[in-house]
Amino acid sequence: MATTPHFDLLIIGTGPGGEGAAMTAAKHGKSVAAIERYTRVGGGCTHWGTIPSKALRRAIYHMNLVNQSPVYKRMDVVPEYPFAELLATAKRVIDEQVDLRESFYDRNHVRLIPGQARFVDAHTVEVEAEGGQRRRFTADAFVIATGSHPYRPADVDFSHPRVLDSDTLLGLDRTPRSITIYGAGVIGCEYASMLRNMQVAVNLVNTRAHLLEFLDDEITDALGYHFCDTGIRVLSNEEYEEVEPSKESVVVSLKSGKKIKSDVFLWANGRTGNTADLGLENVGLTANRRGQLEVNESFQTGQPHIYAVGDVVGFPALASASYDQGRFAASHYCGQADYHLVHDIPTGIYTTPEISSLGKTERQLTEEKVPYEVGKSTFKTLARAQITGQQVGMLKLVFHRETLALLGIHCFGENAAEIIHIGQAIMSQPAPNNTIRYFVNTTFNYPTMAEAYRVAALDGLGRVF
């Protein structure tokens, strides 16, 4: 009779959270295996989310650079790049990422087990392979890192080729003339920006009063103005009544009485944790209505030896945060109490231009009655931005009026997701090394976008002295 393979730690899912947990436990000398229901490692982040969407965004960016080239304009030639061809560049990046990530598992002697995992009992999972074969594995502890998928309301026909979600959009074989995007969260705003840069007519239906309400008000106002300026139609405080696809188009009827007709329809309103087929009932766990698992500060579920990390636990649902959560959960299991999870995680939103934010907003500080001041730098005044032609944007530093401690960083513009990390390093320092004086007393390369910190800090200091 064949014995059941046993591991110290068994991880379900190989996205950022699963990878972070697997590598950390392996480096602590634990026997580790990772179960992946798809044919290749990487999870939704690598195959349907972060990597392909950002690779597509970059391909569109380069397309626009070519189309704006004076050489082509003089020749009166505008090269055309179909959506499918731009997506081909994303596939190349995905392949490179998969090869790299597989080497991590191989190098660290983490066994990869293909198939769908289901809990049989508190220490046993059954894995069903693609051909239907089933095997059981046992472990001392588990990490659930199964990620999430787009939420699909029952009254929207996603089987129709003109009705898409953020996963199926990446399978489009042509460039649509127009699109209605329902949901103006991060995913909706990113795709609205990308598709508009391809000259697609974009209707963005926002179920809330403002775009990306969790961000600083000034940043969301700038994004809204930029969307309007580029021709994106934003409809706020709207909800759909009916989505009617046909052979030629999709008509969206809103509860306000408006009707929007477009080539295709993209649902981008919410995600659901991948917990439906995990056999959670066999271990006494229940997911919430969004398919997410409740965890404590150590990412333990109601079963202390079963951890959950990443999108399956909800906010902030970022690849960067998921990886760190996986590392933290594995470190906790290995008894490494000295490892601390960073709570201030930067937000990176890849619209055009980018948005990145860290720390408190003015709205929050006002509500908390914290005495603060603001320093700003507009990109159009920076030599580097003038040289590159990327002059739309600003850097905003929010700091304590008395101690000068940096409390928040908000950036809108080219490379915002990179620029944020300079301020992040200072903000994480203990007092008194976390003040905006650092930016005034430090010499930045010139011309660089980093110089925005010095300009913003000088502006802020000028308001308090």
Which positions make up the binding site for FAD?
A: 54, 146-148, 311
Chain centre distance of CA 211: 16
Is residue 104 within 8 A of residue 27, CB to CB? The reply is no
- Sheet containing 201-205: which strands, arranged edge to edge? 163-165, 264-267, 178-182, 201-205, 233-235
> Going by C-beta distance under 8 Å and a sequence separation of 6 or more, which residues neighbour residue 202?
178, 179, 181, 192, 195, 196, 231, 232, 233
Cα(274)–Cα(309) distance, rounded to whole angstroms? Answer: 12
Listed residue (65, 56, 111, 108) closest to 83, CA to CA? 56
Binding residues for NAD(+): 183-190, 270
d(CA 108, CA 113): 15
Give the largest CA-CA distance in the chain. 80
- Count the Cβ atoms, other than its own, within 10 Å of residue 366: 11
Question: Can you tell me which residue has the tokens 């010499």?
Answer: 443
Residue 382 tokens, joined: 């920076």
Cα distance between residue 78 and residue 117, in whole Å: 50
Burial class (CB within 10 angstroms; exposed 0-12, middle 13-18, buried 19+) of 171: exposed
Distance separating alpha carbons of residues 326 and 110, to the nearest angstrom: 15
Phi, psi of 352, rounded to the nearest 5 degrees: -120, 110
Strands 116-121 and 124-128: antiparallel
Q: Distance (Å, rounded) from C-alpha 172 to C-alpha 41?
A: 23
Give CA–CA dist 294/278, Å, rounded.
15
> How many angstroms separate the CA atoms of 375 and 462, rounded?
9
**Residue stretches of the annotated binding site:** 54, 146-148, 183-190, 270, 311
